[in-house]
Amino acid sequence: APVRLPAPALAVLKAPDLGDVLAGPPLRAARRLAALLDGVLETAEPGSGRTADPAASMLRPTLRSLVPVVLRDVRGELHPGSTILRHAVRVTAATSAGYLIGQALPFGHGYWAPMACVMAMRPDFTQTYARAVARFGGTLAGVTAATAIVRLAQPGMYLSGLLAVVSAGLMYVLMRTGYAVAQAFVSAYVVFLLGMGGLRWDQTVPDRVALTLVGGLLAMLAYAVYPAWESPRLHGRLADWLAAAGRYAAAVLGQYADPAGARPAEVRAALLAARDARIAWQEALERAAGEPVRHRGPSGEAADGAGDALAALGRGAMLLEAHVPDRAQAPVPGAAALAEVLRTQTEAGAKAVRERRVPEWEDVRTLLTSWDAPESGVLRGAADQLLESLEAFSEALRP
């Protein structure tokens, strides 16, 4: 339906003869909103933003410039607790075993076993299990349907080729409906394709089904022998989010403490780090929910309450960021002390969460109790809200 804007909304966009409509914090918030909208336009269509440089948006990093990034990431994962390193070890061992088993079995196409193993394995158990079951179920359904067609129609080379093309096309059309559906059409495609070469269905179907089953079982066995359960690491993920949210709030408060030396890039980096930590916590929580082991993380109610509290902490810091004073203004009294105590307390609170203890916020509470600075403006009320979020976080984790 077409968008219908009310007349008062359109009138706001017209330039009145009354001077500036916005001033002070509302003006800064409006400028921030305009910059964010420019970012949306630039993301949707590079070069379309108001302040975007079309030439710069087309630049891509060279292969040489990516080499140190890759090496840094590899070094960062070379430790026993890395899920990526564990996954690499699992994939290497399972595919090697699958290749040896495929060559030893009296079937052709022995590469199907390691290929099925690689396609099914993922760094977490839930996806590995779901993909292994979906691959075997889709393979069984696909080869059954293709075998029935071959037995009833007895297609020749050209008809088999047409059926193979149709199966491949349906696989691409229905790929996003689910892994099992795509795998069913891939299996049918293989049966028809090998039929073009004169192979009978009974020479391909048992091979495909048996080797796919072998690959799926190897994927599950590799995870059982060398697991990387997410449940024991939930407290660590939650602690990372708490520390990142505290650093973001402290970075925003630092702009109030020193408007002249404001560093927007530092605040932006802290915000992105907090978002990454939040996403990592949410993904870990989803993966842990499907693991067949005793849940050793926080309870579901505690996890929901703690997550809501940290989300509120992030929203409070973001609202403060929208009202950051101009560079020409004087420092806000008490902002520097609040930023420092918030940074140290959230770091200490993250350490307590990792040790399965409930964090305390006595230093923040003491600072706000003794805060006597009427000229701090909006910061005083916002600081109380930040403390409320931290206390709600502790209350959610309290037995």
Residue 368 confidence (pLDDT) above 90: no
Quote the domain boundaries for residue 346.
Answer: 231-397
Torsion over CA: 34, 37, 43, 46 (sign): negative
Is 226 a residue whose pLDDT tops 70?
A: yes
Are 243 and 361 found together in one domain?
Answer: yes
Name the domain count of the chain.
2
pLDDT of residue 373: 66
Query: Do 329 and 351 touch, CB atoms closer than 8 A?
Result: no
Q: Does residue 11 fall inside a structural domain?
A: no
**Higher pLDDT pick, 30 / 183:** 183
Whether residue 44 lies inside any domain: the answer is no
If asked whether residues 268 and 335 sit together in one domain, one would say yes
Distance CA 386, CA 165 (A): 60
| 298-353 pLDDT, tens digit each | 888 999 999 999 999 999 999 888 888 888 888 888 888 999 999 999 999 999 99
Q: State the pLDDT at residue 345.
A: 95
Q: What is the CATH number of the domain that holds 318?
A: 1.20.58
The more confidently predicted of residues 48 and 133 is 133
pLDDT digits (tens, 9 = 90+) for 43-94: 777 666 555 454 444 456 788 888 998 999 999 989 887 888 888 999 999 9
Binned at pLDDT 50, 70 and 90, residue 13 comes out as low
**Among residues 196, 225, 254, which one ends one of the domains?**
225
For residue 52, the model assigns a pLDDT of: 47
Q: What's the pLDDT tens digit per position in 332-347?
A: 888 889 999 999 999 9
Q: Among all chains, which residue has been given the structure tokens 């696989």?
A: 171
Q: How far apart are the first and last CA of the chain?
A: 51
Q: What percent of the chain has pLDDT over 90?
A: 36
Whether 172 shows a pLDDT value over 70: the answer reads yes
What is the C-alpha separation between 358 and 333, in angstroms, rounded?
31
Other beta carbons within 10 angstroms of residue 57's beta carbon come to: 14
Question: What mean pLDDT is predicted for residues 355-378?
Answer: 84
Rounded CA-CA distance 312/306 in Å is: 10
Which residue in this structure is represented by tokens 């809501």? 308
Out of 177, 193, 225, a domain closes at: 225
Say whether both 108 and 134 belong to one domain: yes
Pair (141, 210) in one structural domain = yes
Examine the fold and report which residue of 225, 247, 263 is the final residue of a domain before the chain moves on. 225
